[in-house]
Structure 1
Amino acid sequence: MSNKTVDVLVIGSGIAGLMTAHLLADHLNVMIITKANVMTSNSSCAQGGMAAALSPQDGWQLHFADTLKAGQDHHNPRHVEMLVKRAPAIVETLVNLGVSFDRNEDGSITLGMEGAHQQRRIVHVNGDKTGRAFTSALIEIVKNRVTIQDYTMVSRLVTNEGRVIGVETEDEIIYANATVLATGGMGQLYSHTSNVEEATGDGFALAYRAGAQLTDMEFIQFHPTLLMKDDQTYGLISEAVRGEGAKLIDEHGIRIMDHHEGRELAPRDVVSREIHRVLSKGRNVYLDCTMIENFHERFPSLDERCERLNIDVSKTPLQVVPGAHFVSGGIETNSVGETTLPGLYAVGEVACTGVHGANRLASNSLLEGLVFSEQVATHILTSKRELHLAPLSEAAEVQFGELHLPTKIEIQKRMTANVGIERELKGLLDMKRWLHTFLPAIPISSKDDRDTLERKNMILVACLITEAAIQRTESRGGHYRSDFLNRDDQNWIGQYITFSKKSGVEVVDRGNEQEVAMQSL
């Protein structure tokens, strides 16, 4: 097997990985490894935009408060404060990189409204094509300054004396002084998802196998409105559509959110659960957009999809279903993106910075990726280390006889049924027993093809999510236990469920974060 050495290795080509590479490229030898084409990522699919307190009526304190409320008191408040204070400067940074935000006639940036925000503070590009605009601009900037190796899947992190020193792929070992995981989410563990096909949870599995600590894996956010037709989903419908007045109705035309605070713009976990309950009663749910003027100009991406599906948005409500969208937890990091393993950083959705709590506030994800990529890049540049390589022993091949892995579809169906929008102990325990029958089969082998490796990663990550959901006997944010209906159990405030190969599953008490957060205001 061949090998090469770089200063910094970035795994993933979403907004967080691309910005990290951009900020380092003039100073260090940087390589990006990406699983598919460099343009393929959850970031490139992001429609809703990015949150930033820009209007005279707004301020970081309001953005801070909205973030805490949506995430139900489960944050790292210092990281949240850093996030929201940095947001306006991030917008300016993107402008300087050539991103053309939508603007009003007076030249000011147009600000949209989304769920759980007090103020209009969502910046967009070309209506609902924000993510594609961000990633396109960054790819253009980095493509001649870094090495991009696409269609490459990482099978394991290479460690030496407790430090991550690179990665192993199908063809080679790549050594690096710093390895940055920016691999995105794990939406493909569920039957319906807004995520790209490649989002099979690989980064979480890589980190766990290497010995890093993960946290908050039970908090899975389901986007309320994925477009559906003929039992197939066709991407998400941005929350901004509801922000402009679209209404959720059942098949009889009755509004389903009228009795909720915030109605259609309630937090995503609330809206998703209500749609789920209506669907479980055998009634379809629709998003009525017929009242929105200039729809094709405001939401061109959605309008194009509807045209391809022969749907006239001006006359026909859109059938919707919730889908797995974002994991608020992930690989535990500090304020500069360091994980619990030296040499390994994590940024973007795969990381758990504590800024999303139990339920991410709409349009904070692109912001998180950009703010913390700055933190990661700055730390790498100010803490350069020379890489000392030691001989590596070959990984032992594991034989598991005739035990066959389940298909992706089977994993997705069981996760959706047992560890989905609503959970209860019996279903969780059934899921755990089923998953554990495959644990002997999931160690990595050099013979694994991409599909096999993805299924092994999916089983491992499903185990972590399921175990965390069993341990947290309350309902909070993206984790809803129908057998424990107390939504805000004070006994659980400050309690975090963590995983690592060394310590197993632990409930860690970090105190009342909300009390600290309120002092920041």
Structure 2
Amino acid sequence: MNAHSPFSFTLPGSDRVIVVGAGVAGLATALRLSPRPVTLVTASPLGSGTATGWAQGGIAAAMAEDDAAALHAADTEAAGAGLTDPAVALRVAQAGPGLIEWLVGLGAPFDRDAADTLALGLEAAHSRRRIVRAGGDSTGRMVLDTLLKAVALTPSIEILVADVRGLLQDGSGAVAGLVCERDGASVRLAARSVVLATGGLGSLYASTTNPRGATGRGLAFAARAGATLRDMEFVQFHPTAISVGLDPMPLATEALRGEGARLIDANSEPVMAGIAGGDLAPRDVVARAIFQARRRGTEVFLDCRGALGARMATRFPTVAGLCAASGIDPQRQPIPVRPAAHYHMGGIKVDGTGASTVPGLFACGEVASTGLHGANRLASNSLLEAMAFAPWIAEAVASVPAPGPAVMAEPRRHDEADHDAIRQVMEADVGVVRDADGLTDAVRDLAPAARQGSDAALTGLMVATSALSRHESRGAHWRSDYPEQAPARHSDVTLAEVWRIAETVSADTVAPV
């Protein structure tokens, strides 16, 4: 169905802001926009289909007496491998304690110690215990529930369950709303501004911890509207996805390693021996070590046996439940793990207010590239970033000029490709370790389907072309043919540049995915 369909109808825009996505980024932004009218568009009923509810680690915030925002920012910069914006890191870290207080005010049930102070956990690459958690390893679900209850009590927010098809723009190119499909009918929603909070792209990979719908469609919408995207090649692979044949893969939070779990191979030898940081090294380092061990022919396990395994049910109930469902007793058996696509550091390039390069288009959460994560996200900074930018976006929206009437454009062909075929290409050629041959194959395989209108193939193509253009290894982007670092730089791309690279690579005609 398209905007020219006889079943198409339009809802007036007035002062409406449209927020696309109902994870923590979308919900927090909608709440911060109150009392301005907001239409929250979600592909699934509220509370389902979002990665927020699966977040086990927590929210990083400098709350302890021996901690400070400057220390948190420094850890963020170190993990970001030269591409984190120091000013953004400090600003977000400074916002952390206030955001925790905001959530407490909304009723978030954070874990507390015997003195009724927040119980703070430790995760890899953090120099202090600063991980605020709820329900042990159920933070994402509990924060999501807290925000959902607040949204239900906010009369300025209306919910629309619909499948977004693309953005509307006026004659100047400013975003003027969107087109979505609901109950078989095409709906044109006019708006002052659109905030994309559509999450990540992990489900483009065969091995992922993300929901099936996490294919990066918001990135494709923004690219087609002319937005600049940044650092698309940086995909974080969580090192300890539980390898028991499930899709998506269950996650064993790295907070387990903060509490003493160790990575071992099939011979019980330590996988991280001799590597700086050991089991608490940054995620990209651990993921590559596990990848290389598996390539040598050995399985890798997370060893929680003993005292940690004995208290798993109370300290890490989510992981304990996942293990039990797969017949694993962590107190007596090591947990089989492997890297899996988990988080995308790249995204829609935005400024300090969450505004993209297209007037009227904002982005919040994983779909955005704010300058915080750089080349490798620091653990538990994702929920923090989304909530920090939500009020900054809400403030900026007030000064956005109302767009003109949406220009009726020719409907683009939307022919979604075989998702499983795309996942195999991304897994094989755009994974933990990359090289020119594999990336070239990926571009050739994905380009035809992307040209035929597949949003998933286009997003994968943007990752592959950016990875092919970065001739170095940095953070989560590792090239076996370029193992050294080059001078630090961001990779800003538009759709026109992606097509230029794809045309250069795909000189020979190939069959689409």
TM, length-normalised to structure 2: 0.91
Q: Alpha carbons of 1:154 and 1:360: their partners in 2 closer, same or farther (altered >3 Å)? A: same
Alignment partner, residue 419 of structure 2: 408
Q: Alpha carbons of 1:394 and 1:385: their partners in 2 closer, same or farther (altered >3 Å)? A: closer
CA-atom RMSD in angstroms: 1.8
| Same amino acid, percent of matched pairs | 38
Matched, 1:484 2:482: yes
One-letter amino acid of the counterpart of residue 215, structure 1 = R
Give the number of aligned pairs.
482
One-letter amino acid of the counterpart of residue 326, structure 1 = Y
One-letter amino acid of the counterpart of residue 395, structure 2 = T
One-letter amino acid of the counterpart of residue 83, structure 1 = V
Among 463, 470, 473, which residue is 1:472 paired with? 470
> How far apart are the structure 1 equivalents of 2:196 and 2:43?
12
> How far apart are the structure 1 equivalents of 2:175 and 2:437?
39
- Taking the TM superposition and a 5 Å limit, the aligned residue runs for 1:18-29 are 18-25=27-34, 27-29=35-37
| Secondary structure, counterpart of 1:438 in structure 2 | helix
Among 310, 314, 329, which residue is 2:331 paired with? 314
One-letter amino acid of the counterpart of residue 294, structure 1 = R
Alignment partner, residue 507 of structure 2: none
| Secondary structure, counterpart of 2:491 in structure 1 | strand
Alignment partner, residue 405 of structure 2: 389
Q: Alpha carbons of 1:163 and 1:397: their partners in 2 closer, same or farther (altered >3 Å)? A: closer
Q: Alpha carbons of 1:387 and 1:396: their partners in 2 closer, same or farther (altered >3 Å)? A: closer
- Taking the TM superposition and a 5 Å limit, the aligned residue runs for 1:424-503 are 424-442=435-453, 456-486=454-484, 488-489=485-486, 492-493=487-488, 495-501=489-495
Conservation of the 8 A alpha-carbon contact between 1:36 and 1:198 = no
Conservation of the 8 A alpha-carbon contact between 1:498 and 1:506 = no
Q: Alpha carbons of 1:231 and 1:91: their partners in 2 closer, same or farther (altered >3 Å)? A: closer
> How far apart are the structure 2 equivalents of 1:174 and 1:148?
13
| Secondary structure, counterpart of 1:236 in structure 2 | coil
Conservation of the 8 A alpha-carbon contact between 1:499 and 1:505 = no
Q: Alpha carbons of 1:95 and 1:209: their partners in 2 closer, same or farther (altered >3 Å)? A: same
Q: C-alpha offsets along residues 257-291 of structure 1, whole Å, 9 cap, x if unaligned?
A: 12111111100000000111111122111111113
Q: C-alpha offsets along residues 19-44 of structure 1, whole Å, 9 cap, x if unaligned?
A: 1101112x211110111121121111
One-letter amino acid of the counterpart of residue 494, structure 2 = S
Q: C-alpha offsets along residues 91-110 of structure 1, whole Å, 9 cap, x if unaligned?
A: 11111111111111011111
One-letter amino acid of the counterpart of residue 2, structure 1 = F
Q: Alpha carbons of 1:268 and 1:86: their partners in 2 closer, same or farther (altered >3 Å)? A: same
Conservation of the 8 A alpha-carbon contact between 1:499 and 1:506 = no
| Secondary structure, counterpart of 1:193 in structure 2 | coil
User: Shift of residue 328 of structure 1?
Assistant: 0.6
One-letter amino acid of the counterpart of residue 44, structure 2 = A
Alignment partner, residue 303 of structure 1: 320
Unaligned runs of 5+ in 1: 443-455, 508-521
One-letter amino acid of the counterpart of residue 389, structure 1 = P
Per mean C-alpha deviation after superposition, the further-off stretch among 265-274 and 136-145 is: 136-145
Alignment partner, residue 372 of structure 1: 389
> How far apart are the structure 2 equivalents of 1:385 and 1:142?
26
Q: Alpha carbons of 1:119 and 1:425: their partners in 2 closer, same or farther (altered >3 Å)? A: same
> How far apart are the structure 2 equivalents of 1:503 and 1:375?
30
Q: Alpha carbons of 1:457 and 1:506: their partners in 2 closer, same or farther (altered >3 Å)? A: closer
Alignment partner, residue 127 of structure 2: 118
Q: Alpha carbons of 1:410 and 1:244: their partners in 2 closer, same or farther (altered >3 Å)? A: same
Among 63, 68, 71, which residue is 1:59 paired with? 68
> How far apart are the structure 1 equivalents of 2:223 and 2:438?
25
Matched, 1:250 2:265: yes
User: Shift of residue 375 of structure 1?
Assistant: 0.7
One-letter amino acid of the counterpart of residue 9, structure 2 = S
Conservation of the 8 A alpha-carbon contact between 1:16 and 1:369 = yes
User: Shift of residue 388 of structure 1?
Assistant: 3.7
> How far apart are the structure 1 equivalents of 2:470 and 2:189?
39
| Secondary structure, counterpart of 1:258 in structure 2 | coil
User: Shift of residue 506 of structure 1?
Assistant: 10
Alignment partner, residue 203 of structure 1: 218
| Secondary structure, counterpart of 2:57 in structure 1 | coil
Among 208, 215, 226, which residue is 2:230 paired with? 215
Q: Alpha carbons of 1:347 and 1:233: their partners in 2 closer, same or farther (altered >3 Å)? A: closer
TM, length-normalised to structure 1: 0.89
Conservation of the 8 A alpha-carbon contact between 1:338 and 1:346 = yes
Alignment partner, residue 162 of structure 1: 173
> How far apart are the structure 2 equivalents of 1:397 and 1:366?
34
User: Shift of residue 333 of structure 1?
Assistant: 0.3
Among 33, 43, 49, which residue is 1:35 paired with? 43
> How far apart are the structure 2 equivalents of 1:128 and 1:232?
20
User: Shift of residue 358 of structure 1?
Assistant: 0.3
Alignment partner, residue 143 of structure 2: 134
Matched, 1:190 2:201: no
Q: Alpha carbons of 1:156 and 1:265: their partners in 2 closer, same or farther (altered >3 Å)? A: same
| Secondary structure, counterpart of 1:38 in structure 2 | coil
Per mean C-alpha deviation after superposition, the further-off stretch among 257-266 and 323-332 is: 257-266
